[in-house]
Each structure stands twice: as structure tokens, then as C-alpha cells.
Amino acid sequence: MRRPPKDTEESVKLITRRSLVLGTGMTAFAGVLGLRMRHLQVDQADQFRLLAEENRINIRLLPPARGEIFDRNGLLIAGNEQNYRVVMVRDEVDDPDKVLEDLSNLIPLSPDDIARVKQELAKRSRLVPVTIADRLTWEDLSQVAVNAPALPGITPEFGLSRAYPRLDDYAHVIGYVGPVSDYDLSKIDDKDPLLQIPKFQIGKTGAEAKLERDLRGKAGTKRVEVNAYGRVMRELGRDESTKGSDVQLTVDTRLQNFVQARLAGESAAVVVIDVNNGDLLSIGSAPAFDPNLFVRGISVADYNGLTQNKYRPLANKAVQGAYPPGSTYKMVTALAALEMGVVGPEETVWCGGHTEVAGRRFHCWKRGGHGHMNLRESIKYSCDLYYYELAQRVGVEKMSEMARKLGLGERHDIPMSAVSKGLIPTKAWKRANRGEDWVIGDSLNAAIGQGFVLATPLQLAVMTARIATGRSVKPRLINAIAGEEFPSSAGEPLGISTSALNQARGGMIAVSNERRGTAYSTRIAEDAFRMAGKTGTSQVRNITKAERARGVFRNADLPWERRDHALFVGYAPFDKPKYAVSVVVEHGGGGSTAAAPIARDVILAAQYGGVPPLAAYPESQHGRISTALEELNLRDPADTPPKGTRA
């Protein structure tokens, strides 16, 4: 039951007062909430709108197609190939094991592949696509696409991958691309966001690396809306990527293929240059490798096979290999002497097989000596004693000056890896690098391209071109980038007198065209294509007195590593020069037997624009030559580029 009222006015007033205080407080707080709302939604709206957009919009890079590389005739050297692959997003699959099993019935998947995929699925985020199979055929991909409804989480993807249709022909010139590595990133200062794309392909060696900026192209962007978990909801817009610039080189695929085929089995290098404009028509280095292997990720076994091969397939011998030029250097000494006027054209030097200089005995390669030699004969027979005499008259400084004039000791500017400078010694160089004074013996060695002198096949080809034209021919490998032609020129006159040049050329003509010339056996029979040249045989060892006494310097008796390098330089046609060639066969033995035949075949191929006809060779050699030419493993450059085999 209710008790009687015990408090009246006072109680009501108190509650009313307190209620009003509290009500006012609550309303005031609601006001604060309203103000806060206004602050966030009106004052800071722009800022938060931006943050919301950043939340939801992701910028994805669209990798550009890489610029393609063509030869001088527009044949493809490095292109892009559609790469079909299949990826799985773990988040979209309930039972990945079953899906993988179903998939393995459609496309070739080894148990190893499946194990790798499972491992990656476990490791990566559930939203990251994991590549299940790469480099699928179009048929395989269609199989997957048709069965897509039964394969949740599986997406067929298209991408571009580098392909080298000429296989190993251009391995050293073009190099190869590969996925960008942490090492690459640390080495190059390049802020291009493309490099952050996992497995983005960049040039690793050769022209691919040197012309990376031109070839790469510009990234496009795709704006996608993503949810909080990073899943793409829809595409909002895109700016297409820009393909990299196409590059046209000066090389000739038909000739390059001939050169590589001709060098098969050797450890050798060949350079063919157009003497009139410096165009490099072929840069051969053997053995070579298939750059496609590197693009796909070379296997350890393959890689070890390349690095452990004593012929060093990965080395680019044509521009990187520096060899003692041997007798091919004699033109340098001769020209220096002629220009100084310390020797006359008909002046003879007696060669008795050896000579004493400063208490040391210096030998001619010919044990019995050559007898009286004039300049032309000294080149024709490659007499060493003649040059020992010239060396003493000319001195090292003048010889080296002439060598530089002819392009030796200079790093030529072509977009290839590890282009070597070679070495043209001077007194100052020896003092600085060896801490010893130059002695006369050094000059004698230098005069015949031994001792300290080192030159690359590229430099020797340039030297030959310069002797042939008297102009400062500069090697040129890029013909055009993005359709824009690179300047070419015949070069400035070298400032060497025509009579001196003609003396040297006369000797070279004699070498390849006169009986008993050191390369007479590799003469060209076709008058319009005749060659002038010079053999070279450079020692890689010292001949001991004991060996000399025993007569053990037949190369065939020595292990490969200790045999002489065989060299040859030449140009043709000798009366109206078009092409110069240099050949170095590592440990090949004699220049006339190992290098000159290659040079002849190559320069004939350059002049004929293909495999030379038998008529170009002396009749007595037809049988042997025809067999050799037929045995060459040539590819028809007009063929559709051969597809790389599936890795």
C-alpha cells in the first residue's frame, strides 16, 4: 500500500532543477557532437575524401612491350613472344589440391610443379596470383579457358616475354634480358617504378643492357578499385603503356649466321666492318650460347656447362678479348717508320734468322732467316728481323702513336658489354704500371705485336679498315633507334701519306696474292673480290732455350692452352676496299693455317652476300672447300624465326 505523501513542493523542485541541469548538459553534449561532425565532415572533408580515394584506388603498373631489335635488312633479332601462363588465386579456391589435380589432366604438370605451386600457395598471401604453369601453348591455354567454370581460382594470363629467334647467333652482340634482381637495383640509379615489378625483364648484357633506356619503354597505369582486403573490384581507367623504341643494328643476319657457323668448334672471334662507313656487319664470337635460356631462367646444369667450358662461351671475344696482335701489328711499325722517313721502300735489311740487341738474342720465326728483305717483302713473308731493326729506328713512342691513329688502344664506342681498351704501351705506361724503365727489348717485342701490346678483334678490324681507306673509320653498331638514323661517316683522313699507306697495302696484297706470301694458300681466285691481308701468330708462352734447341715449338705437340693464337686481318676487294675482317682463333696455331681460311670465307660471304661460290676459290682447293662449305650448319635467315623450345 502507498504511504501518504511525505514530501511535496521541495522534492518536485529539486528533481525538476536537477532534470533541467542534466537535460541541458545532455543537449549541450549533443551540440558538441554536432560540432565535431561539422569539423570532420565540412572542415576536413577534402582531406578525408582524398584518404578515402587512396584507400579504394590502387594504381597498377602496366608493363610496356620492349623495343624490338632488327638487323640492317629488317630481320628480327630480338622480339617479344606471347607468353601464356596459368595463375591461381588461393582466396578464390576452396580445395586447391583438387583444382590442381583437375588442371594436371588438361595441361602438362609434373609432380614437381605441383609441389612447387603448393609451397608457394602456402607462402604467399591468399590474394597474390601464383603462377602454376608458364610458357604454355595456345592449345593448352584454350583447354584451361574452356574448362574455366570447373576450375575456380584459375585464370589464364597473357604476357610478353623476350625471344631471340636467331638463337645463339647474336648471343654476344645482343646479350639477353632477365628478371631484375636486387643486385641490379643496387647497382643502377634508376627510379623507374617498372623495376619494382617482380620479375620485370631488363637487359643484363650486350646491347640489351646498353640500350636499356631506349628499349624499355614507358609504363602505363591502370587504376583499379580494391576492397579492404586488396581484392580488385573493378577497373576505373587506364593509360596504356608505351612500347620501347625499336632498334636497328648494322649487322647482317645472313653474314652473322655464316660467321657463327664457320667458327663452329673453335674458340674464336671474327669482326667484319664496312670500311667506308664503319658499319659492323658481323661480330662473331665462338662458342656462343642460346640467350633464350637466360630469359627463361637457366638451369644450374646448363649454366655450369657454360662457365666450366674451357672455350669460355660466355666471353665476348670479339670486343672483350685482348690478344697480342702478333704480326698483324707489323703494318703499324712499318707505317710509323715510313712516316718518320727512317726507312725507304726499297731499303733492305738482312735477316739471318736471329740478331743480338743489347746483349739479348732475338729470333725470326724462320729459323734460317729470310735473307735481304725490303718493306713489301717483310710483310709478305712476315719477317721479324726487319721489324727488330725498324723498332730501333722508330722507338716505342712513335710506334704507339701510329697504333692509336689506327684505332688501337682505344675503347670504341659501341653498345656492347665489356668493350676492352686493349693496350698500346709507352715508356710512361711501363714506368707507371710495372715500375720499370722501358728497355730496347720491349720495343723489339712491340714492333712484332708481342710483349705488352694487346688488341681486340674489333680494334684489329678497325685498324685494317683505316689502313685500307686512310681515314679514321669509326665502328658503328646502331643504325637507327625509333626510326631515327644514326649518323655515319667515312671518317676524317688520318694524315698518313698515301705513299706510306700504299707501301703497307702492297705488302698486304702480296701476302694473299703472291706465291710464297704467308696467306697465298688462302688466296681468292675471283679477281673482283681479291683480298689483301696479314697473318699473325702470337705466342702465349716463352720459348725456352731448351725447347728451341730441341725444336719443340710445333703447336700440334703442345696442349691447347699453350698453343699460339692465330690471327688474320684483311680487306677486300684490295683495289677498291669495301670490307675489312679480323679473325682471332684462340690457341689456333698459325695465322696462315687457322685464321686466314676463316677470314677468306667470311670476307667472300660478305662480298657475295651469302655462301660464296666455288669459283671464288683456287681450283686446286675446290674439293676440300665444297665439302667444308656444305658441312656448315647454316640457317636461312628468311625463314620464319624458329620458335624457342619450351623450357
Partner 1 sequence: MSYLAHSVKSVPTGFSRVLHLNWPIILLLSAIASVGFLMLYSVAGGSMTPWAEPQMKRFALGLFVMFSVAMIPVWFLRNIAGLAYLISVGLLVAVEFVGATGMGAQRWIDLGFMRLQPSELMKITLIMFLAAYYDWLPVKKVSHPFWVILPLILIVIPVYLVLRQPDLGTALLLVFGGGGLMFIAGVSWLYFATVIGAGVGLVTAVFQSRGTDWQLLKDYQYRRIDTFLDPASDPLGAGYHITQSKIALGSGGWTGRGYMQGTQSRLNFLPEKHTDFIFTTLAEEFGFVGGLSLLGLYVLVLIFCIASALSNKDRFASLMTMGIALTFFLFFAVNMSMVMGLAPVVGVPLPLVSYGGSAMLVLLLAFGLVQSAHVHRPR
Binding site for partner 1 (CB under 8 A): 2-8, 10-12, 14-16, 18-20, 22-23, 26-27, 29-30, 33-34, 36-38, 40-42, 44-45, 47-49, 51-53, 55-56, 225-229, 233
Return the number of the residue (18 or 360) whose C-beta is nearest partner 1: 18
Minimum Å distance from CB 126 to partner 1?
Answer: 15
Does residue 405 contact residue 463 with C-beta atoms inside 8 Å?
Answer: no
Q: CA 187, 482, 237 angle in degrees (round to 5)?
A: 75
Q: H or E element: which one contains 162?
A: strand 154-163
Q: Say which of 327, 417, 538, 582 is annotated catalytic.
A: 327
Distance CA 244, CA 217 (A): 3
Closest CB to partner 1 among residues 225, 410: 225
Closest C-alpha among 524, 523, 519, 557 to residue 541: 557
Q: Reduce the DSSP state of residue 487 to 3 states and report it.
A: coil
Q: In whole angstroms, what is the distance from residue 402 CA to residue 501 CA? A: 12
Residue 143 cell numbers, joined: 583447354
CB atoms within 10 A of CB 39: 11
Q: How far is the CB of 125 from partner 1 (least distance, A)?
A: 15
Which CB, 58 or 155, lies closer to partner 1? Answer: 58
| Shortest distance, position 122 Cβ to partner 1, whole Å | 23
Q: Please tell me whether the peptide bond between 287 and the residue prior to it is cis, using omega within 30 degrees of 0.
A: yes
What amino acid is encoded at 216 in this protein?
Answer: R
Active site residue 400: no
The span from the CA of 331 to the CA of 335, in Å, is 6
Shortest Å distance, C-beta 130 to partner 1: 23
Phi and psi of 73, rounded to 5°? -100, 10
CA distances to 253, 255, 599, 602 from 608, in Å: 14, 10, 14, 10
CB of 4 to partner 1, least distance (A): 8
Q: Which is nearer to partner 1, 173 or 224 (CB)?
A: 224
- What is the smallest separation between the CB atom of 5 and partner 1, expressed in angstroms? 5
Between residues 5 and 149, which has the closer beta carbon with respect to partner 1?
Answer: 5
User: Closer to partner 1 at the Cβ: 10 or 437?
Assistant: 10
Per DSSP, helices labelled H in 277-362 are: 291-296, 300-307, 330-340
286 vs 267: CA distance, rounded Å: 5
Neighbours of 346 (CB within 10 A): 8
Alpha-carbon gap, residue 416 to 205, rounded angstroms: 8
Residue closer to partner 1, measured from CB, 228 or 546 = 228
CB 41, min distance to partner 1, A? 4
SS3 per residue for 26-83: HHHHHHHHHHHHHHHHHHCHHHHHHHHHHHHEEEEEECCCCCCEECCCCCEEEEEEEE
Q: Which is nearer to partner 1, 48 or 486 (CB)?
A: 48
Report, in Å, the least distance between residue 36 CB and partner 1: 5
- Could you tell me the smallest distance in angstroms from the CB atom of residue 127 to partner 1? 13
The angle subtended at Cα 387 by Cα 382 and Cα 391, nearest 5°, is 160
Please work out, in degrees rounded to the nearest 5, the angle formed at the alpha carbon of residue 535 by the alpha carbons of 532 and 536: 150
Q: How many other C-beta atoms can be found within 10 angstroms of the C-beta atom of residue 283?
A: 29
CB of 14 or CB of 122, closer to partner 1: 14
Task: List the catalytic residues.
Answer: 327
